């Protein structure tokens, strides 16, 4: 009885100490498009706030642009689009707004527009499906 109990405990210990295993997951077009749009949103917000959005992300332990690497998105492409979108934001001159810019709402509207959606879907189709290496514990 002691031998069986010992073997069971040993198996449980060995199983719990095993290394994580990896599996390949095919990335969907919607995943790619969302990562692309999110990356453009990040750069639009960061440029519009003179880098303060990046500081906010860093201060709050945010992963920021982890999706770019995961989905093989061209950093310079989304950076230039996001920064370009930020330059289109104009000051609102209504009395209640006191000359402020609608940075957040305009960046969201730009990044998640049909135009950006179309660009992202086109890029995905040109690049083809990706397989992402996902580590499970």
The number of C-alpha atoms within 13 Å of 34 and in the hemisphere containing its C-beta is 7
Half-sphere exposure at residue 115, Cβ-oriented, CA atoms within 13 angstroms: 8
Task: Tell me if the pTM is above 0.75.
Answer: no
Where residue 133 falls among pLDDT bands split at 50, 70, 90?
Answer: very low
CA proximity to 23, closest of 127, 115, 137: 137
Q: Tell me what pLDDT residue 112 has.
A: 92
Comparing CA positions, the residue from 72, 71, 38 lying closest to residue 57 is 38
Give yes or no for a contact between 89 and 102, defined as CB atoms under 8 angstroms apart. Answer: yes
**CB 35 within 8 Å of CB 67:** yes
Three-state secondary-structure class, residue 25: strand
CA distance 91 to 93: 6
Residue 122: is its pLDDT beyond 90?
yes
Confidence tier at 79 by pLDDT (50, 70, 90): confident
Would you kindly state where each structural domain of the chain is located, as residue ranges? Answer: 29-136
Cβ atoms of 78 and 39 within 8 Å: the answer is yes
């Amino acid at each position: 009885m002691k031998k069986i109990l010992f073997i069971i405990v040993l198996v449980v210990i060995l199983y719990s100490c095993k290394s994580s295993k990896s599996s390949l997951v095919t990335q969907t077009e919607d995943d790619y498009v969302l990562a692309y749009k999110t990356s453009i949103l990040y750069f639009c917000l960061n440029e519009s706030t003179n880098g303060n959005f990046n500081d906010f992300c860093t201060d709050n332990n945010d992963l920021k642009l982890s999706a770019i690497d995961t989905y093989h998105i061209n950093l310079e492409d989304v950076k230039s689009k996001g920064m370009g979108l930020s330059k289109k934001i104009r000051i609102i001159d209504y009395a209640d707004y006191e000359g402020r810019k609608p940075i957040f709402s305009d960046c969201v509207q730009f990044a998640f527009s049909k135009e950006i959606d179309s660009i992202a879907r086109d890029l995905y189709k040109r690049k083809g499906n990706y397989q992402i290496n996902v580590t499970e514990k």
